[in-house]
Chains A and B, each alone.
Chain A
Amino acid sequence: MKILKDGVKAPVTFSLNGEDIEGYAEPRTLLSDFLRHELGASGTHVACEHGVCGACTVSVDGKAVRSCLMLAAQAEGKDVQTIEGLSKGDEDFGDLQEAFHQRFALQCGFCTPGMLMTLASLKGTGRSYSEAEIRDALSGNICRCTGYREIVDAALDVLGDQVKA
């Protein structure tokens, strides 16, 4: 096992949205800080830094995780997906993004990356979800603008077990 010295930056490499990246992090550097400030992937937002609000949710090896509760060094060699990976450059929105757009499912947009990454992990399972299941899955993501109705509707458009009007 590599022993990292306190206060010294060491290289961290992983795959970010399909691209191999390398950056330097102290042992204590959070994955959220590393993504935002070392790699410039500022689409992932930090809102509580104690694992409750879900704004910093990213996907690591296909699982939704809180990047404020994970160290950058722990991502070594992993496959990390963030909101920037949901649509690339000028390409159209992915289906979750398009549903959010159509449903007015965001206002300030600060919680939105975490919401989308949580829902993306549901989508990754390939199955469909009831409204109650979607609400339950989103219980770790706080939104203060919308009241959730539009977010749940957008999620049901993509993941729902029946088509909503």
Chain B
Amino acid sequence: MVGTTEVDDGRYVGKRVLRVEDQTLLRGRGKFVDDLPVAPGTLHAAFLRSPHAHARIVSIDVSEALKVKGVKAVVTGEDIRPYTRPLIVGFKNPMDYRGIAMGKVRYVGEPVAVVCATDRYRAEDALARIKVEYEPLAAVVDPVKACEDDAPVLHEEAGSNRVSRRVFTHGEPMAAFALADRSTEITIRYPRNSITPMETYGIVAEYQPDTGGYDVLSNFQGPFSVHTVMAIALKVPGAKLRHRSPPNSGGSFGAKLTIFPYIVVLAVCARLAGRPVKWIEDRLEHLSSSSVAPNRVTRIRAAFDDDGTVHGLRMEHFDDHGAYLRAPMPAPIYRMHGLSTNCYRIPNVEVINNICMTNKCPTGAVRGFGGPQLYFAIERVMAKVADELGRDPLDVMSQNLIRANQFPYRAPAGALIDSGDYQQVVADTVEQGGLEDLKRRRDEARAEGRLYGIGYAMAVEPSQSNMGYISTLKTAEEREKAGPKDGAVASCTISVDPLGSVSVIGDSTPQGQGHQTTLSQIVADELGISIDKVQVNLETDTQKDNWSLAAGNYSCRFSPASVSAAKTAAERVRQKMAIIASRYMNVTAEELDFKDDWIIARNNPENRLEFRRVGGLAHWSPSSLPDGMDAGIREVAYWNAPELTPTSAKDEINTSLAYGFAFDFCGVEVDPDTGEVRIDRYVTAHDCGTILNPGLAEGQIRGSFASALGASMYEEFVYKDDGTFLSGTFADYLIATAPEAVDPIMVETVATPSPFTRLGAKGIAEGNQYTTPVCLANAVADAIGREDIVLPLTPAKVFEWVNGEEEAPPPDVAEDEGPDDRIDYSGDALRGSGSTFVPTTPEQVWDTLMNPDEMAAIIPGCKSLDQLADDHFTGTVSMGVGPVKGTFDADIRLANLDKPNSADITGSLIGSLGSSRGRGQVTLEPSDDGVTVSYTYEIHLSGTVASVGGRLLSGAARSLVNQFFRALVRRAAPDAKPQKDGLLGRMRGWLGGTS
């Protein structure tokens, strides 16, 4: 459906008004952070990052890097330390985090050093010249294992990887479980994902020696509470940390909140380098090291009666925040706390929150912010309750829904759910989405033996966060000591200039949601002017603009908060202009209407003044204004909702202000031969209160659905058990493109306005993050009859669920005379074994293997090899995997030398593209016409090579092994004829390979 710019009744709110942002963006004239000019002399930063998941930093030598042409500074954690304090989080803890490694690295991709050079290419050149010596440590990547006593501890000063544990009891869950007819339990594992905005992080930082302050330009998204965290860390008053945001931001979905540690690091870099420093994050950096949603393990239990009434829930969460906590983490789990019973009338709930540290990328905000994880658990257990009662899940869910006459409804954990008519939404969805027809399709499919399932999911959609909810993490006594935290202040400034045109400044730092358009609609309506007379500027400048802690764009804040502030400011402008006009029109201000660019006496439309004339009067003739009225027209509104109260002594918290509702159902078919999950139909319904612009609202629903579909089907940040990161490119972290995208059926249903927001609007942008993953999981569970459904629903995984583990394929047929090599990269290491035949004596092979000159010629890519001792070699090797190629320092040791029969080999390769540690064994077995060389090896890989080449590693290893042995045959048996193995030879290879 196309949009409009003309409105016939003079009202813009609620219409499909075309986006004002498009005029800029569609011409390629957007001003994103990397598009803005920088001062001459600005340096460009590149980060050296950890190849290890967990290691002690023994030493860092930057001297060679400083010699690279154009390099002006190389900054390490120890250089940053004197200029900073630790970045604080919402509760007291001893962890020391300042955005760059100090002493230890705790995840692959962690910043270790920053090169500042005259251009980015040179800065990256210099990274390869920094020498870091690491002492690798054992890593832990599973949040439950991380809490076990024998787990390696990331932050020794914290004493444990479980840095916070809180038990919450609302109502009487113990009694509910004791009295209910039945109970059931399910454990869910929610994976790591993000929405990876198209534009990455970008920062330009400058130190001001004259004031001792810092100027920063970045695409930070808020909340601006984090500005205080940065100012404290940089040891400057807030007013001396000037942060500006550019006019445009290329998406965020939460990610650009956790740019702030980089702002601190680059601010200090600029200070040390004596020049502005600019950094644009690259995609590998973004995928490995920016921000992800916490993955979570939840054990959830439900107590229910035989009639389907659910009386209580008990859940224990293990929330995995990776290597560091960064403000406002661990917020997602607490943002949802008030909604621990979702949309159901469940009066009793126990919640146990474990906050866990692991050797993975630290977490941050991701669209949905704690909701996908919580609702995955609740909606899976509701499906299980229905299953155990032999009833339709939708029946049981509906039976327990909050009723329309119960709003505002106070949930046991504290959410004050403002309004809704959930029964009507369900009825509309069932009808418009054709549920009965879908059930027929399921029956037909099943009658033919096909795997077809239907899933349901419901969710309360919270919007505008209470800035006090994170305090729920503290005990009541700690909260008492710290003082109350609550509310969520929004601000807006509206001015009318001498020519009567209107400027609006907001605090929402949008990333594509169309806020300029929406605010124009609201202000134009309030002032009765055409929309093209309103100019909205949403760049922010903390030294000049009005802002408060809650400013920014997150947790569906805009429609409840920024919109209410704009409405309030516009009313104040209108009130002032009405008072001015009333003096000239001889009527009271209350009798004036603002319409069609005029101010009109309601009872006598001929009595009117042009809007612009009244605006002009306030500037041109202050003397004609009423006594006591300020000249000019500029109104600032700070808006806050009184419903956002602090956490109660019983840990109840109204976590958000407005609460929408989403209900989805879907039908899926699982192909048992491929494991592919095909979505037959997907239906989604939302009640988000007043809709301000349907074109924008639909875009938010479709966009949220698409990213939730990705999270359900494709997207996951994959780590090996040893912390190796494997999802460093968009070829590894898969995102749906146009052919994979599914169009949901969007239901037209009720809009129950929020009584607590100025226009009755609620958030709309996150609903499908909550419903879609668990709706699809419930459907797949229904299709294949399995309880343990872990996203994403990749074909390989689903295939295994349906068919059991796949049989190992037969060994590859070796090409040419190369060895047969079996490779397995399913565990924490790349493991291989195999053998090859060399037509010479064991002694000859042994001597070749022990001769450094020979080995230098045999090892693929070997540039040099020196023998330090009989059993110790060092050298340099140049190697490539897929898209990356680099030079590595090799260190090889031999042990258990049993000439000429066997030897053990251990070694490491380390270079700017990553590192590997490995061990292996070689045995030589003489036969009639030669010797069979058999080998096994195990290699731990880390760093860039694994992150961007993970899917190619097995092939690359096979190729290197082949090259090695072909060269060995050439060097050890130079006289042997090149042997083209026939069938016999190949069979020998297979046998050798499996022995």
Contact = CB atoms under 8 A, between A and B. Distances in A.
Contacts of B198: 45, 47, 53, 55, 108, 110-111, 142-144
A104 B3 contact: yes
A102 B706 CA distance: 21
Contact of B729 (A50, A102, A116, A138): A50
B282 A49 contact: yes
B27 A47 contact: no
A93 B29 CA distance: 13
A142 B250 contact: no
Q: Would you call the interface of chain A mostly helix, strand, loop, or mixed?
A: loop
Interface residues of A, number: 58
A18 interface: no
Interface string A121-155: 00000000000101110111111111111111000
Nearest to A139: B737
Contact of A145 (B28, B34, B69, B699): B699
Nearest to B28: A43
A78 interface: no
Contacts of B703: 107, 144-147
B706 A148 contact: yes
Contacts of B18: 101-102, 104
B283 A49 contact: yes
A57 interface: no
A52 B730 contact: yes
A22 interface: no
A107 B699 contact: yes
Given A43-B28, A139-B738, A48 B729 contact: yes
Q: Taking each of B35, B251, B705, B743, which has the highest tally of chain A beta carbons within 10 Å of its own beta carbon?
A: B251
A144 B730 contact: no
A34 B620 CA distance: 50
Interface string A61-93: 000000000000000000000111011000001
Nearest to A84: B28
Nearest to B742: A147
Contacts of B702: 146-147, 149-150
A21 B837 CA distance: 61
B121 interface: yes
A106 B729 contact: no
B3 A102 contact: yes
B867 to A, nearest CB: 34
A106 B699 CA distance: 9
B738 A100 contact: no
Interface in B23-39: 24-30, 32, 34-35
B706 A146 contact: yes
Interface residues of B, number: 55
B739 A83 contact: no
Contact of A84 (B27, B121, B248, B705): B27
B854 interface: no
B930 interface: no
B513 A107 contact: yes
Contact of A108 (B2, B511, B741): B511
B741 A147 contact: yes
Interface string B694-722: 01101100110111000000000000000
B26 A109 contact: yes
Nearest to B248: A109
A144 B698 contact: no
Contacts of B27: 43, 83-84, 86-87, 93, 97
A104 B19 contact: yes
Interface in B1-49: 2-3, 18-19, 21-22, 24-30, 32, 34-35
A135 B195 CA distance: 21
A34 to B, nearest CB: 12
B632 interface: no
A26 B29 CA distance: 26
Contact of A44 (B2, B28, B739, B883): B28
Contact of B29 (A36, A43, A141): A43
A136 B741 CA distance: 11
Nearest to B708: A147
Nearest to B732: A52
A148 B735 CA distance: 12
Contacts of A49: 282-283
Contact of A109 (B25, B200, B735): B25
A42 interface: yes
A140 B739 CA distance: 10
A135 B738 contact: yes
Nearest to B704: A147
B512 interface: yes
B695 A104 contact: yes
B2 A103 contact: yes
A107 B695 CA distance: 11
B731 interface: yes
A53 B705 CA distance: 20
A112 interface: yes
Q: Taking each of B27, B702, B706, which has the highest tally of chain A beta carbons within 10 Å of its own beta carbon?
A: B27
B735 A142 contact: yes
B990 interface: no
Contacts of B28: 41-44, 82-84, 86, 113
26 contacts: A29-B121, A46-B34, A49-B283, A50-B283, A53-B198, A83-B28, A84-B27, A87-B27, A104-B3, A106-B22, A106-B26, A107-B512, A108-B512, A109-B26, A109-B30, A112-B25, A134-B738, A135-B739, A142-B198, A142-B730, A142-B735, A144-B196, A146-B699, A147-B706, A147-B743, A151-B738
Given A47-B283, A101-B18, A107-B699, 17 more contacts: A42-B34, A45-B32, A47-B199, A53-B283, A86-B28, A101-B22, A106-B22, A109-B30, A110-B250, A112-B25, A142-B735, A142-B737, A144-B706, A145-B699, A146-B699, A147-B743, A152-B738
- Nearest 3 interchain pairs by C-beta: A43-B28, A108-B512, A110-B250
Interface of A: 7, 26, 28-29, 36, 41-50, 52-53, 55, 82-84, 86-87, 93, 97, 100-104, 106-113, 116, 132, 134-136, 138-152
Interface of B: 2-3, 18-19, 21-22, 24-30, 32, 34-35, 69, 121, 195-200, 248-251, 253, 282-283, 511-514, 695-696, 698-699, 702-703, 705-707, 729-731, 735, 737-739, 741, 743, 883, 948
